[in-house]
Amino acid sequence: MIVEDAVGPILRMCDEVESVIRAIQDDNPADLEIVDRGAYVRVQRRGFLRVTRGSLERHLGAGFQMSRFQSIMSAFAGRIRTSSDEIVWYLQSASISSKENPR
Amino acid sequence: MALMKREEWEDLVRDVDWTLSYADDDAVFPEWQSGTGKIPREAWSAWEESYKISYPEYVSIQAEKEAAAFAVKAALQRSTIFSSLDEGWKSCAKVHFGGVSLAEYTAFMAEARMARFGLAGPWRNMAVLGALDEIRHCQLSLFFAHEFVSKDPQYDWALKAFHTNDWAIVSARSLFDAMMLAGNVVDTAIQLPLVFETGFTNLQFVGLASDALASGDINFANMISSVQTDEARHAQQGGPTLELLMKHDPVRAQWIVDKMFWLSARVFAVLTGPAMDYYTPLDHRKQSYKEFMEEWIIGQFIRTLQDHGLKKPWYWNEFIEGLDIWHHSLHLGVWFWRQTVWWKPQAGVSKAERNWLNTKYPKWEEIYGPIWDQIIANVNCGNMQATLPETLPWLCNACHLPLCTYTSSPDGKYRVRDFPLTHNNYTYHFCSKVCRQIWWEDRDMLHVKTIGERFLAGEIQPRDFPGVLQYMGLTPDVMGDDAYGYKWATDYRELLGPESSHPRPNSIRGRERIPSEALSIPINAKFGNDFVMHVVVVNTSDTMAEVAQRVAYRSVGKRVRPQDRDMVVYYEGRAVADNESVSQVGIGPFQQIFVDYASDSRRGR
């Protein structure tokens, strides 16, 4: 793992992987790292990463329910917080700006 | 009609606790099950799951996952993929099916206990979904394996393994019973969802999936990564429970995490380590086991624990050193005792594989090379009997794995050591200081007799190796053999010559003498730099020369190159005279001795 304090989802092999990665890139334009290991892909960033329903709908079609994200995420790094509009991965003790940290 | 957002209504349904009036709270949530300890009862109202999901969402998503997993299975069922899979890779799947399928059912029981005795309503809801998850995982594993039973009876062990006393299952069952069933539900929430599912299962279900896919086993890769999507959700029961524990009783939190981390790491070293570094075909290995551990456990899991305020476990240096050792020793043990497992271990030491091992593990050749060289010489000379076990290794009283852990010494050499503990006039043996400490602290819970102890107590009959195989439930049609029929050893044929076979010298007896029952005692013994300690039964009237013979019989010519030199017995750190008897020296039952060639003997005790 290259990124220090890496957080983010580990996506399993499925048809939607590329679209999900593009959605995450839209929501996290800077410093995103993608590690492809075939059966799984790590999408990670230092300390804080989010994906919104808006971005997922743009890439996967209107009406995407955030709960569906679960079926393509095998694991994740860091802590998670879920809502109907976004999923956030974070570390409380990571050295990132308070604006990004959800707590 | 637009649906309301979940946040607008979920608080009405996620916490359905009420104040009990017809029964005492203590009666409904007894401490021995609910385990709140120093956490005040009212503090549990703050428990909040971070990964929220409603029941309708759960049902809809699970149906989708099931449909996807079965669609892949159905599509591949008529293909010829199975017959083209590498035999070494198939062993990865067989280890998984046997070692995991019914552990999933045990996990269901753990989830069901949390669903009943958890002290927060939202936690109990999460645990209900977790229980349904685990039933799904158990059924998936059994069903996917069942397809292959008609082609290979070893797959039948997906269902059978946990109903046997196979040594690997005794070890796994001891871990899972302690983790999932023996403790109260607070301990369970830290041990199972937090340590095991947030940490270690990722290695087996996600890490190994990448090796599976590369090896062409799309069906298996799809199944295990589907299973882990459930784990990612229900494992989140651990976080909020840990937060409460860290606030009110951080010492308890640290101890539970440390203990379960170590015991999990030990079992994964035999479950996942050999699969990744020896069974998966070389061309298809994505990373080494150590690299997967660094990615998933050291890089990811430990960072999350630290985020919760936990420290690295007290034994961190031993754990890191073990990443270069544990699974190599255990693999060697599994391969040598291959008749005792339900899969076909791939030796994984052809020249190309050995180069890979040496690249990934720079100490491998120094520690394991000479042992494999002796085995290879025996295979190439057709001396197969010398590549098979006749007796039992000594097993650790905490992790139930053989005493085969090399640790470094001040002189830079690596040696296998025994860590004994005498308690109530009985000597227990451990593979490491950490196993010994965990056992001592939890001695009332971790008290399953090892296979060796059962053997010595006469619970295994007949009292010989065929009797042991029978006790473990292994029949000739399923007992393991080398995955490739020893073809890998032909790599070393050019070494074949009069000097290469290193046969057992005449000075080592051709067959073991049976000690007289009345005067015999079991001892724990190791020869030279062999990788494992053995159960050896000696007569109290045996001289040290005879004891040396008995110990040498288990190692010399099998894994230790014979030498034309005298042997010396060491007891309590000192060399003992050849003509002294066991009773004169004062060696008692279950005590440990070390035997080596004379001029080399001072180096490892």
Encode pLDDT of B524-553 as tens digits.
999 999 999 999 999 999 999 999 999 999
Q: How far apart are the first and last CA of chain B?
A: 77
**Residue-level pLDDT at B11:** 83
Indicate yes or no: CB of B228 within 8 angstroms of CB of A84: no
Q: Which of B225-229, B331-335, B511-515 has the highest mean pLDDT?
A: B331-335
**Residue-level pLDDT at B40:** 98
Indicate yes or no: CB of A38 within 8 angstroms of CB of B214: yes
**Residue-level pLDDT at B1:** 62
Q: Cβ neighbours of residue A8 under 8 Å, at least 6 residues apart?
A: A24, A42, A43, A44, A45, A49, A76, A77, A78, A89
Query: Does residue A95 sit at the B interface (CB-CB below 8 Å)?
Result: no
Q: Is the pLDDT of residue B480 over 90?
A: yes
Q: Cβ neighbours of residue B281 under 8 Å, at least 6 residues apart?
A: B86, B88, B89, B215
For CA atoms B360, B363, B367, B369, the dihedral sign is positive
Tell me the percentage of chain B whose pLDDT exceeds 70. 94
Q: Which of B107, B419, B438, B385 is nearest to B257 (CA)?
A: B438
Q: Which of A82, A89, A92 to mutate to test the interface with B (most CBs of B within 10 A)?
A: A82
**Residue-level pLDDT at B3:** 75
**Residue-level pLDDT at B516:** 61
User: What is the pTM (predicted TM-score) of this model?
Assistant: 0.94
Q: Which of B8, B66, B202 to mutate to test the interface with A (most CBs of A within 10 A)?
A: B202
**Residue-level pLDDT at B554:** 93
Pairing of strands B592-597, B520-527: parallel
Domain annotation for chain B: domains and CATH numbers: 67-313 (1.10.620.20), 517-603 (3.10.20.270)
Does residue A46 contact residue B199 with C-beta atoms inside 8 Å?
no
What is the C-alpha to C-alpha distance for residues A100 and B19, in angstroms, rounded to an integer? 39
Q: What's the token pair of residue B187? A: 């301990």
What is the C-alpha to C-alpha distance for residues B440 and B444, in angstroms, rounded to an integer? 9
Q: Which of A91, A55, A87, A44 is nearest to A69 (CA)?
A: A87
* DSSP secondary structure letters along B73-86: HHHHHTSSHHHHS-
ipTM: 0.90
Average confidence (pLDDT) over B474-482: 96
pLDDT tens for each residue of B237-291: 999 999 999 999 999 999 999 999 999 999 999 999 999 999 999 999 989 999 9
Indicate yes or no: CB of A73 within 8 angstroms of CB of B232: yes
**Residue-level pLDDT at B504:** 63
Query: Which residues is B560 bridged to in the sheet?
Result: B556
Q: What is the average pLDDT value for chain B, to the nearest integer?
A: 92
Q: Which residues of B touch A83 (CB under 8 A)?
A: 5-7, 52
CATH H-level, domain A6-90: superfamily: Monooxygenase component MmoB/DmpM (3.90.56.10)
pLDDT tens for each residue of B402-457: 999 999 999 989 999 999 999 999 999 999 999 999 999 988 766 789 999 999 99
Higher pLDDT, B509 or A88: A88
Burial B281-308 (b: 16+ CB within 10 A, else e): beebbbbbbbbbbbbbbbbbbbbbbebb
Average confidence (pLDDT) over B591-599: 93
Q: Is the pLDDT of residue B4 over 50?
A: yes
Indicate yes or no: CB of B229 within 8 angstroms of CB of A74: yes
Which chain B residue shows the shortest CA-CA distance from A78? B304
Count contacts between A and B (CB, < 8 Å).
109
pLDDT tens for each residue of B109-153: 999 999 999 999 999 999 999 999 999 999 999 999 999 999 999
What is the C-alpha to C-alpha distance for residues B191 and B255, in angstroms, rounded to an integer? 10
Burial B29-62 (b: 16+ CB within 10 A, else e): beeebbbbeebeeeebeebebebbbbeebbeebb
Pairing of strands B567-571, B520-527: unpaired
Residue B427 host element (H or E) = strand B426-430
* DSSP secondary structure letters along B295-316: IIIIIIIHHHHHHTTPPPPTTH
pLDDT tens for each residue of B185-243: 999 999 999 999 988 988 888 888 888 888 899 889 889 888 999 988 998 999 999 99
